[in-house]
Amino acid sequence: MPSIRSSERAARWSLAVLLAVNLLNYLDRQILYSLLPLIQASLSLNDSQAGRLASAFMLVYMVAAMPIAYWADRGSRRLWITAGVVFWSLATAASGLACGYRGLLSARASVGIGESCYGAISPAFVAEPFPPERRAWILALFSMAIPVGSALGYILGGAVGQGFGWRPAFLMVGLPGLALAWLCARLPEPVRQRRQKSEIVPPGAYARLFRIPSFSIVTLAGAAMTFALGGFAVWMPSFLVRQWGLSVASAGTCFGAITVLSGVGGCLAGGWLAERGLALSSRSYFIVSGAGLLTGMPLAMAALKAASLPATLALLLAAEFFLFLNMGPLNAVIVEVTPAGQHSMAFAANILVIHALGDAASPWIIGAWSDRLGLRPALLLGSLALGLAGTLCFWGTRYYDQDRARLAA
């Protein structure tokens, strides 16, 4: 029987390794966006075609997640995570070898298969070894990789793309994942999963997850948020290039730096506030998330309408800080209101909906709006979804306590 201290060390080691993998995950995912101006010029693509490159990844990512998560909850999640890291790393490298638009579209879609193995499984894998009252903070630390990895994608993609071209940029970030896959293969399986992996759960259990009100509300809020943030992630570097005349490298560096500062601060602040807020209200996870989203929306819109580059960057920094507050708390809600043996399935179902209604469509939709209206009006329209996300979070406070009580009964 492992000691409590050795179990804590194993949990922290798993968190450290999977945090590093999550950094690479978002670096691989976001590097495309800083390279879009170069890819568009090289392959003669309009905004709608460029947006489809991002949408192709999301479409495959969300569809593959559910069957993968079902089998992962029945067997070794460590094996699925390791295979996913290998697959997406090779697919990212293949993006740099693509001969044309169709080849690049296929390679980016293939990245979604590998990342679905990781995205659906890793949050529960990280959170389960820790006590419930610490999970918002742990998942906030884990989610910190989203802004940091995204920023590295923007910065490295912009710098390498500007200096050497977009193809070497994909090759450079694709291959390091193979070393991290070796570490993933040696992670200990969480005790909770080993005890429950023989449990028989029918595929129809996916439908039952959506009968849990808190889970459904978190998922719909995530979809609305992801629609807006997905549009920002894809098109903000291009907005900075077009609106303020920045180079591809400068736009990637500016947006990357903002994403790091605001994202790390927002993720950590959100986890800390949600954890401390439990002393005042058991519904703290929803309250902190909703407040951040409703505060961030007008700041994001003001950033798009600002009259100078410094004002745009300052308002964008403030907006992203508040928009990242929910990363740990909303993931913690999923862990707390769904059965332990179905955590990967719950995250996979969440992934399917938030991306189907969110950033699988929004890059293409905003690109199409941009072709008709201009990029600034298109991004302003997309950011309205943040208000819906915040409102849904406050609606979720009505159900959270009863959903947790029903699970514990």
323-371 residue pLDDT tens: 999 988 998 899 889 887 788 888 888 888 988 888 777 877 888 898 8
The pLDDT value given to residue 214? 95
Q: Identify whether 105 is part of a domain.
A: yes
Does 305 score more than 90 pLDDT?
yes
8 A C-beta contact, residue 315 and residue 347: no
Q: Provide the number of structural domains found in the chain.
A: 1
Q: Identify whether 195 is part of a domain.
A: no
Q: Identify whether 193 is part of a domain.
A: no
Q: Identify whether 2 is part of a domain.
A: no
Residues 6 or more apart whose Cβ sits within 8 Å of residue 59: 109, 112, 355, 360
The pLDDT value given to residue 195? 43
Stretch 104-133: mean pLDDT: 83
The pLDDT value given to residue 10? 80
The pLDDT value given to residue 393? 96
The pLDDT value given to residue 269? 93
pLDDT band at 6 (very low <50, low <70, confident <90, very high): low
Stretch 53-71: mean pLDDT: 81
Q: What CATH number does residue 158 fall under?
A: 1.20.1250.20
Higher pLDDT, 44 or 154: 44
Share the mean pLDDT of the chain. 85
The pLDDT value given to residue 161? 81
Q: Tell which residue, 300, 35, 331, 4, has the closest CA to residue 170.
A: 35
The full DSSP string for 299-349 is: HHHHHHH-SSHHHHHHHHHHHHHHHTTTHHHHHHHHHHHS-GGGHHHHHHH
Q: Which of 41-55, 67-81, 336-350, 369-383 is modeled with the greatest confidence?
A: 369-383
Does 202 score more than 80 pLDDT?
no
Name the residue range of residue 284's domain. 7-185+203-408
Higher pLDDT, 121 or 213: 213
Q: Identify whether 379 is part of a domain.
A: yes
Stretch 296-317: mean pLDDT: 95
State pLDDT tens for residues 171-201: 888 788 888 889 888 888 766 444 444 455 6
The pLDDT value given to residue 5? 57
Q: Identify whether 392 is part of a domain.
A: yes
Does 317 score more than 80 pLDDT?
yes
The full DSSP string for 4-38 is: HHHHHHHHHHHHHHHHHHHHHHHHHHHHHHHHHHH
The pLDDT value given to residue 179? 85
Stretch 238-266: mean pLDDT: 85
Q: Which of 128-132, 162-166, 262-266, 301-305 is modeled with the greatest confidence?
A: 301-305
Q: Identify whether 237 is part of a domain.
A: yes
Stretch 202-223: mean pLDDT: 88
The pLDDT value given to residue 198? 45
**Half-sphere exposure (Cβ direction) of 300: Cα atoms closer than 13 Å:** 32
Q: Identify whether 198 is part of a domain.
A: no
8 A C-beta contact, residue 180 and residue 317: no
Does 247 score more than 50 pLDDT?
yes
